[in-house]
Amino acid sequence: RGYYPRLWSEAGFQISHRYSSTFYPLAPAGFADASLDARLAAVGKRGFRLAPIDTRDWDAVMIGVHRLVMTLYSSMPVFSELTIDEFVDIFGSLRRAIDPRLVTLAWRDDELVGFSIALPDFGDLPNRALTPWTIARLLTRKYRYRQAVALYMGTTQPGLGAAMAADLLQQMCARRFTVVGSLIAENKPTGGYAPSLIGDRSHYGLWSKDISPASHATA
């Protein structure tokens, strides 16, 4: 297991960022976690509203999500700012893949202040040739899935991330599917939501190397 880390290290790379993915297995029948209810109740008392996406409002929501992503994700590695047209061109196709119940939006009055986007786990189906059989399986998997993958989350308000995660995990328990929280930055609270439900965790590293002229001159 140490082969690739050793290979990268000997080539002058170092781990610059660490991430983990959290696996939430099927909860026992009838499982309930009072902390999930408490998180959802708390944001309501603070004047925020959580709701699944209404796809009829897709265009307006995309504008709000773009604004949040450009602000909240700007410090991430290899971040590149996108115009709204570029953003829609890249992520607009998600509309065909989402189960609206897995997309939670956080509102303060009419202002979008947070989002959580999970998708059904399609496996390798999106990479296959779009034959009638593949399309039929994709459409079936969209609403009849055994696992969801939490992909994107962002909020301007403390506590909303925990509440949106609670909404997804409550669905997991009620509707009987598993969840993978993918590539969570190390030391972020997202990785520790609902510890009683966590089954396993995988760890990853982003390796980087300074190749600027100044670094070569120093070397």
DSSP one-letter string for 138-180: HHHHHHS-SEEEEEEEEESSTTHHHHHHHHHHHHHHHHT-EEE
Rounded CA-CA distance 153/191 in Å is: 12
DSSP, collapsed to helix, strand or coil, labels residue 216 as: helix
* β-strands 178-185, 147-155 pairing: parallel
Phi-psi region of 198 (alpha: psi -120 to 50; beta: other; left: phi over 0): beta
Which pLDDT tens digits describe the chain residue by residue (219 residues)? 688 899 999 999 999 999 999 999 998 887 878 888 899 999 999 999 999 999 999 999 999 999 999 999 999 888 999 999 999 999 999 999 999 999 999 999 999 999 999 999 999 998 888 899 998 999 999 989 999 999 999 999 998 999 999 999 999 999 999 999 988 888 776 666 778 888 999 989 999 998 877 655 555
Which of 46, 192, 169 lies closest to 106, judged by CA? 46
Rounded CA-CA distance 153/104 in Å is: 9
Q: What pTM was computed for the model?
A: 0.86
Q: Residue 65: enclosing H or E segment and its boundaries?
A: helix 58-72
The pLDDT assigned to 215 comes to 59
